[in-house]
């Protein structure tokens, strides 16, 4: 089992057929001042596996800065249902929504593990927006 797609986005959804739609992918955010919260940040994952992996699998997520300090964590599950006959590869999407704490400017990562094994890192870089009112 592995993650073949992981991104941050402004919005994402999974329709009733399991199709993943993603809008506004990004990896840089600009905030007026620190500390800040980046609200409603969508972490979008697509997980692939084989027929032998049908069932629920645990996803663990840590949001860490460049010093390795964890600012946010969460757990969830992804479920692989029984695929149609003849299909050997399973695919499942996961959409997780966070209000992301940004205590300081710099680089951050969402670290994603499935069933305890590290699978992916998604970068987020936070900077201070230039003050458009200064002369």
CB 102 within 8 A of CB 126: yes
**How many Cβ atoms from other residues are within 10 Å of residue 39's Cβ?**
9
* 27-49 pLDDT, tens digit each: 999 999 999 999 999 999 999 98
pLDDT band for position 90 (cuts 50, 70, 90): confident
Rounded to 5 degrees, φ, ψ at 30 are -120, 130
Q: What is the residue whose two structure tokens read 């006959």?
A: 85
Helices (H) and strands (E) in the chain, counts: 0, 9
In the predicted structure, residue 87 carries a pLDDT above the cut 70: yes
- Per-domain residue ranges of the chain: 2-128
Tell whether the model's pLDDT for residue 86 goes beyond 90: no
Q: Which CATH class is domain 2-128?
A: mainly beta
pTM over the 0.85 mark: yes
CA atoms within 13 A on the CB side of 87: 13
- First and final CA of the chain: distance in angstroms? 54
């Amino acid at each position: 089992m592995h993650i073949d797609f992981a991104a941050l986005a402004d919005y994402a959804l999974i329709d009733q057929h399991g199709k993943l739609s993603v809008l506004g992918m990004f990896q840089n955010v600009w905030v007026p001042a620190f500390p800040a919260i980046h609200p409603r940040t969508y972490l979008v994952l697509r997980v692939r596996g084989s027929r032998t992996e049908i069932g629920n699998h645990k996803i663990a997520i840590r949001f860490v800065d460049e010093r390795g300090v964890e600012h946010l964590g969460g757990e969830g599950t992804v479920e692989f249902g029984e695929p149609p006959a003849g299909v050997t590869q399973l695919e499942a999407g996961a959409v997780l929504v966070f209000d992301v704490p940004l205590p300081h400017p710099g680089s951050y990562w969402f670290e994603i593990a499935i069933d305890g094994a590290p699978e992916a890192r998604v970068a987020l870089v936070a900077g201070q927006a230039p003050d458009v009112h200064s002369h």
